Chains A and B, each alone.
Chain A
């Protein structure tokens, strides 16, 4: 398998594009025509559906190189997007090992890892990186292990310390987030950083989700999909930069909604780390313009029904209430009322 990496941007001129292949493998998040906030976990790992974003443990796609370039720009402007409290260094090494090992095994033509005891040799062909270093010796890397590896892995990464029957957001790399801030959440526990979600708290969903996560075992990662809407293909929709992307919500018109309005899907996964007992929480972001999404008839019908029937407070919470009617009107053209098949995948 060869991947052609796009030369594209996620800011300014927004030249980001999905190829036909990227559209086909997009992780559409709705398995039914109505949406309920839930924490439906399923097993993640090798052996996911061939060709889908679930096939490999850390999916690498045509946006890889451009996303890493965008991360570097964001970090240059705001180094606090990557933080690690002192006790989390071991977890950083665990994560580095996990990602290097998975990438080298799953994409041998792109990544290689040679280990000779603690002396490691890492080759990342798409980014043109070759690094010899000593595992667990931070002086042999240009930066800390967490920052080093997450500058080479798509998606945000929260690394959660587990103690006192809770999870603590004590380290992370966060540059492509849906309106949350690592600098604000750092050191918070599971309930504190989830505090603003509406409704779900009453349902006891969080208590159950936390219990599930505390028991995630090594070798048995889990995943779920989450979603929101973003105007323009922008990765960095952080609260810090709201002044840059917030006003863009006002640029949506019935004429441009198909091209400028994006469905934003997060593939969240959960991994127990071996040496530190921390929990790695990668949050991988996938973007698709509505005009590309509607090329799959099942998704067009279903997205229309979901957005139309969504409770107002969820549209508010997800930040697209202002454009909701324009989105519904646009999608309505592609919904002939026919039934949709179960599950998230496109019909063949």
Chain B
């Protein structure tokens, strides 16, 4: 994973729960540009633990002067967002991976329809800038509970293509209405809670849209679960995975070299062969094929867990 040590240039509250952070190169060097929808992974040295969380970039993809992210504080979460909110100050230095895009615009589209729920607005902030610059037809629908909670309002430009739906004000997303009447060749991108993504997929299916024009990104943190043990075939060691730890984090803590990129079950980098499995792998990724999943021959350590007697992996 290629990364850069960057300086926190600014930290600002957008809403009571969402903070924006800006990172710049300590010597002022230009940062690599990126495409709308890309994310970076931020490393947080939190005492004994090294936390790593992925965040969508919300700054202008064509502006290499800095990277910006928006972090929502998850009080019941694993601690990464609390660390960002409570501990990170301007002037601090953090290690940030180079951008990677697993949620890119399909530039063949005749039109782009972007649908965001809550903090799922973040990848679209950069995409909107890209679409405006390339003068491509699009519309964005942004659903939030209340204006006070809608961090995106401070991040989006004031253009007629953007429609805000505040449910407290009685304005709910009408997916059927949004999707019907779009020109042939439209692509739809959804980011937000799992329920929203399912609803868009269902509305699309009802209207006969091909699956390949429906794109989505679930914002997934590694789900907690029961602690479990894993045997590492190469060293013969057994390691314990804590309830709030991912298998990937446990491997890293044990000093095992393992490749990763998204830490959210989407990029495929951490894919690991399972040599023996007596029990059930709880697959939470969006990467493995149905065959790999049901045969329990592979596991994605960044999000997936295990329940049962023994799991031996090729690490």
Contact = CB atoms under 8 A, between A and B. Distances in A.
Interface stretch (A190-198, A273-281, A309-317): A273-281
Contacts of B268: 211, 214-215
Contact of A217 (B33, B98, B212): B98
B38 interface: yes
Contacts of B32: 218-219, 274
Interface string B97-140: 01111001011100000000000000000000010001000000
A163 interface: yes
Given A164-B212, A275-B61, A215 B261 contact: yes
Contact of B34 (A88, A161, A162, A218): A218
Interface string A173-190: 000000000000000000
B269 interface: yes
Given A274-B35, A275-B61, A276-B35, A217 B134 contact: no
Give the interface SS of chain A, mostly helix, strand, loop or mixed.
loop
A220 interface: yes
Contact of A277 (B1, B2, B38, B271): B38
A90 interface: yes
B212 A219 contact: no
12 contacts: A162-B104, A163-B104, A215-B269, A217-B1, A217-B2, A217-B261, A218-B32, A218-B34, A218-B98, A219-B2, A219-B32, A276-B35
Contacts of B108: 85-87
Contacts of B33: 274-275
Given A274-B99, A275-B35, 18 more contacts: A85-B108, A87-B108, A90-B107, A162-B104, A211-B268, A211-B271, A217-B1, A217-B2, A217-B100, A218-B2, A218-B100, A219-B2, A220-B98, A274-B32, A274-B34, A275-B33, A276-B35, A277-B37
Contacts of A85: 108
Interface string B293-312: 00000000000000000000
Interface string A54-96: 0000000000000000000000000000000111101000000
A197 B261 CA distance: 30
B267 interface: yes
B62 interface: yes
Instruction: Please classify how large the interface on chain B is, using the bins under 10, 10 to 19, 20 to 34, 35 or more.
Output: 20 to 34
A219 B29 CA distance: 15
Interface string A218-236: 1110000000000000000
A161 B261 CA distance: 20
Instruction: Give the 6 A-B residue pairs with the shortest CB-CB distance, closest first.
Output: A87-B107, A274-B33, A277-B35, A277-B104, A87-B108, A277-B101
Contacts of B134: 90
Interface in A143-187: 161-164
A72 to B, nearest CB: 30
A342 to B, nearest CB: 23
Contacts of B269: 215
A218 B99 contact: yes
A86 B106 CA distance: 12
A90 B35 CA distance: 11
A250 to B, nearest CB: 45
A301 to B, nearest CB: 35
A16 B173 CA distance: 67
